[in-house]
């Protein structure tokens, strides 16, 4: 894990251990917690029109929810022993090979089921 993500993981681990919450932090439970936070995040955008931005209150909630999502994701990866950055770069390697620029330029529809980020 990277230094910065590793520092966050270490802080989350200490937080859980001080409260004896490691017993709750199984991969299954943490995946559920992550899903719950992502549900809250999605809800902030659900009625937004394409030409609309988040208002300041909604944006503040989104930042807080991104913090929650990041926290649970990093904690889950730490419990599983997975390097998130390595996993993300490996997927991006695959995506660069799969979605060649000339074929997919400007089209999301040619790339079933989804164009990766």
Q: Which residues inside 88-117 make contact with its own copies, applying CB under 8 A?
A: 88-92, 95-96, 99, 101, 104-106, 108-109, 112-117
Query: In the bound complex, what is the minimum distance in angstroms from residue 52's beta carbon to its own copies?
Result: 9
Residue 11 binding its own copies, by CB under 8 A: yes
Query: In the bound complex, what is the minimum distance in angstroms from residue 93's beta carbon to its own copies?
Result: 10
Site for its own copies in 28-67 (CB under 8 A): 28-50, 54-55, 57, 59, 62-64, 66-67
Euclidean distance between CA atoms 69 and 91, whole angstroms: 20
Query: In the bound complex, what is the minimum distance in angstroms from residue 24's beta carbon to its own copies?
Result: 5
Residue 3 binding its own copies, by CB under 8 A: yes
Q: Can you spell out the DSSP letters for 58-92?
A: HHHHHHHHHHHHHHHHHHHHHHHT--HHHHHHHHH
Q: Are 44 and 65 in contact (CB under 8 A)?
A: yes
* Spatial CB neighbours of 40, under 8 Å, sequence gap ≥ 6: 65, 68
């Amino acid at each position: 894990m990277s230094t910065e993500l590793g520092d966050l993981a270490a802080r989350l681990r200490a937080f859980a251990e001080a409260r004896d919450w490691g017993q709750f932090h199984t991969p299954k439970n943490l995946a559920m917690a992550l899903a719950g936070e992502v549900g809250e995040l999605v809800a902030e955008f659900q009625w937004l029109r394409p030409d609309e931005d988040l208002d300041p209150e909604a944006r503040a909630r989104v930042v807080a929810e991104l913090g929650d999502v990041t926290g649970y994701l990093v904690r889950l990866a730490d419990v599983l022993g997975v390097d998130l950055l390595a996993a993300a770069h490996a997927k991006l390697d695959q995506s660069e090979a799969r979605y060649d620029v000339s074929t997919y330029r400007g089209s999301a529809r040619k790339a079933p089921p989804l164009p990766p980020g």
